[in-house]
Chains A and B, each alone.
Chain A
Amino acid sequence: MTFLFYLPLILVYAVFAIYAERKIAAFIQDRLGPMEVGRYGLLQTVADLLKLLQKEDIIPAAADRFMFRVAPFLIFVSIFVGFSVLPVSASMAGSGASTGLYFLLAFVSLDVLGMLFAGWGSNNKYALYGAMRSVAQIVSYEIPLSLSVLSVIVLSQSLDLQEISFQQSIWSDQKSYLLGISALGEVSSWGGFFTWNIIRLPILVPVFVIYFIASLAESNRAPFDLAEAESELIGGFHTEYSGFRWALIMLAEYGMMLLVSILAAILFLGSWNSPLPNIGTVKLAEWTNGSIGTWTSYAWGSFWLLSKAFLLIFVQMWVRWTYPRLRVDQLMNLCWKYLTPAALLLLLLSAVWVLSWV
């Protein structure tokens, strides 16, 4: 059922995310275009979308026609399948239940194949180099990403995303302690940000930073956009694409940003739960979460989940337009010499923490 929620969401969101990206870029780098078309530049992306949809679908003469055509669909589908396990609110869980998180990580890694086919099928040096870079990058950064997700699983003891969400809510059966130390007292009934995973187990703060960096690399975003690197590779694996297929690749990129951001919100930032805690008789958490089964929980749940995700997407765009791109060797150094050992150490520490204090 969440399919009916996420498919329209991703389509509408992509249009506005691209608009937001351009506005943020324009504010940071004083660009003029997105400020002009229509009121406040609102119509710029809509105009571009209309342009893209009526463009000719150009297939290079020397390209492998079959692979060239199939690749964008492969990229988009593998990312969209990831959405199927995401919950929306307390009353609306995704499918896949008990292995949801594992399923998501497995499918997200499949978009690499689509990129390889796109780069190969284009029969173009730049496209091929872009594809090879993106694969090396995504395969490497999957390791710190999975390790940081594993640190959360140590605390939640479940791969079910809806279960992980419920643990961070005021309806949780599991007890939560202030800053993850049982001696400081129980906060299960406070709700709000006190029961978010990142506060329930404060060692998840550096883990969240590692997750965020790795997720930037997974979605091929600057400073990790070596696969596209428009200044050296002219767009990398999608150099040869135009029109609808190019739009699909863009949709997949923005979909991936949304997917990793929603996942970050679910794993670290309290999922669909309100950040406002109950304070004495002022039951802010209960008022802003709705009651399970009624429309209030749908509305509040999706509102909080999406606001957290969009905030993270804003940070992704902010990072993109602020930091320069990494070199290939720096990229690999960062992953293998810093992020992976740090993630391993943090996994060990969080396991020790959960065993001794929680």
Chain B
Amino acid sequence: MSDMITIAFYLFAGLSIISGIFMIFTKNILYAAFALMFCFLSLAGIYVLLGADFVAITQLLVYVGGVLVLLIFGVMLTVRVEGKSLQTGSHLKWGGALIGILWIGILVQLILQVDWTAVMTDQPIEASVNSIGKLLLSKYVIVFELAGLLLLIGLVGAAYIAGAKIRTK
């Protein structure tokens, strides 16, 4: 059983890395979005393997069903209607490389610092929905409500900006 999980983990990890690399190097925005979808899906697979089924499905719902669709939708509304081609170039190569290397350094240091034997337990994977729900409405209720307020402000702001043209008429 644990062998199956290990194989599945490497499968998902490999898929997410390959699709991530493809996403960065392809020139076609739509192909990049397609690769991003595979990246999100394989990340969701890894979450499931870690026993975080709720996080995995939220990942799908929010990132694939929401963010990615909006992204493609935006690209389609703006570009193809005007008949221009969809190519991306690379800018700020040196700055990007610097930030990337810095990030890798931070991550490697974190990975080396964590005591992995303490993290690894043989607890059976169990449903996390109920406990997440209880925690969200008790211990983390203020954070939860603040996040909701932030989203509401975003929604109102988007409606205001979208309505600006109509109001000037």
Residues of A within 8 A of B (CB): 64, 66-67, 97-99, 102-103, 105-107, 109-110, 112-113, 116-117, 119-120, 128, 131-132, 135-136, 139, 142, 159
Residue pair B77, A132 in contact (C-beta under 8 Å): yes
CA distance A97 to B65 in the complex (A): 22
- Give B166 Cβ to nearest chain A Cβ, in Å: 13
Q: How far is the CA of A309 from the CA of B31 in the complex (A)?
A: 38
**Majority-rule SS of A interface residues:** helix
Instruction: Tell me whether B129 and A159 are in contact (CB under 8 A).
Output: yes
Inter-chain contact A116/B54, CB cutoff 8 Å: no
Is the contact region of chain B dominated by helix, strand, or loop, or is it mixed?
helix
A113 touches B80 (CB 8 A): no
Taking CB atoms, residues of chain A closer than 8 Å to B76 are 116, 119-120, 128, 131-132
Q: Find the A residue at minimum CB distance from B77.
A: A132
Which of A106, A117, A132 meets B57, CB within 8 Å?
A106
Q: Assuming A98-B127, A103-B57, what are 8 further A-B pairs, CB within 8 angstroms?
A: A99-B127, A102-B61, A102-B129, A105-B61, A107-B60, A112-B69, A120-B76, A139-B70
With A97-B127, A116-B76, A128-B80 known to touch, is A139 a contact of B69 (CB < 8 Å)? yes
Q: Which residue of B31, B53, B57, B65 is within 8 Å of A112 (Cβ)? A: B65
A120 in contact with B127 given A106-B57, A113-B72, A131-B76 (CB within 8 Å): no
Specify which chain A residues have a CB less than 8 angstroms from the CB of B81 in the assembled complex.
Answer: 128
Contact A102 B57 (CB under 8 A): yes
Partner of B73, one of A66, A109, A132: A132
A-B contact count (CB 8 A): 65
Q: Please give, as numbers and ranges, the residues of chain B lying within 8 Å of A135 by CB-CB distance.
A: 69, 73
Shortest CB-to-CB span from B127 to chain A, Å, is 4
B30 close to A (CB within 8 Å):
yes
Residue B22 is within 8 A (CB to CB) of chain A in the complex: no
**Would A110 and B127 count as touching, CB distance under 8 A?**
no
Contact between chains at B73 and A110 (CB < 8 Å): no
Q: How many interface residues does B have (CB within 8 Å)?
A: 25
Whether A110 contacts B60 by the Cβ 8 Å rule is yes
B-chain residues with CB within 8 Å of residue A105 when the two chains form the complex = 61
With A112-B69, A120-B76, A128-B80 as contacts: A67 and B34 at CB distance below 8 Å: yes
B49 lies within 8 A of chain A by Cβ: no
Chain B, 42-67, CB within 8 A of any chain A CB: 53-54, 57-58, 60-61, 64-66
Bound state CA distance, A106 and B44, in angstroms?
12
Contact A106 B65 (CB under 8 A): yes
CB pair A113 B30 closer than 8 Å: no
Report yes or no: B37 in contact with A113, Cβ–Cβ below 8 A.
Answer: yes
Cα A107 to Cα B58 with chains together (Å): 11
Q: 0/1 per residue, B23-46, Cβ < 8 Å to A?
A: 000000011001001000000000
B15 contacts the other chain (Cβ, under 8 Å)?
A: no
